[in-house]
Amino acid sequence: MFVVMSDSHYDREVIKSIKEKYQNTASHIFHCGDSELLSSDEIWNGITVVAGNCDYDDGYPEYVLKEVEGKKVLITHGHLFYVGLGLEHYSYFAEEKEADIALFGHIHRPVVQKINNIVYVNPGSVAQPRGEYDIKMYAVIEIGEGQYNISYHNLQHEPIPELQFKL
């Protein structure tokens, strides 16, 4: 099980809360960018984080490819791949990198989509939700036998019933 959050936009406490909740149980914690914190902040110890379009600290990478629980997990913010227009550009990159799971943020909306056997996940935003679900949220991903369970949680760490996916 690993945890994905994004777009915290200056809210350091929410990152701390999620980190404290999962640091002893999750195999990894990811943040898809737009934290607007310094890349040297100690909060990032044990978290993989990338650069968002609102991050002006140049210490963040544009993307990271990391093996977690035997799966190749790609993470990027998404603005470089125009994810606001869809996943076409990001999917080319994720396929080239041979990712199993491709994480992204930027649009502040939950997305779970499988394209050419790669699962794309946007965890929504822990600070500024947009669109259909006005809920600050993050995603918990479990890797099962030939199946991924993607469970969105609110900031009380409760599952959001309408945002539970198996694929």
Contact residues for Mn ion, defined by CB under 5 A: 7, 34
Query: Residues 38-75, buried b or exposed e (16+ Cβ, 10 A)?
Result: eeeeebbeebbbbbbeebeeeebeebeeeebeeebbbb
Q: How far is the CB of 53 from Mn ion (least distance, A)?
A: 7
**Burial, 97: exposed, middle or buried (Cβ in 10 Å; 0-12, 13-18, 19+)?**
middle
Residue closer to Mn ion by CB (options 7, 100) is 7
Task: Return the number of the residue (48 or 122) whose C-beta is nearest Mn ion.
Answer: 122
Residue with Cβ nearer Mn ion (48 or 125): 125
Residue 138 Cβ, how far from Mn ion at the closest point, in Å? 14
Structure tokens at 68: 């977690």
Give residue number: closest CB to Mn ion: 34
Complex with Mn ion: residue 9 or 72, whichever CB lies closer: 9
Nearer to Mn ion (CB atom), residue 52 or residue 68 = 52
Query: C-beta of 125: minimal distance to Mn ion in Å?
Result: 7
CB of residue 4 vs Mn ion: minimum separation in angstroms?
Answer: 14
Q: SS in 3 state form for 15-27?
A: HHHHHHHHCCCCC
Output the smallest distance, CB 46 to Mn ion, in A: 22
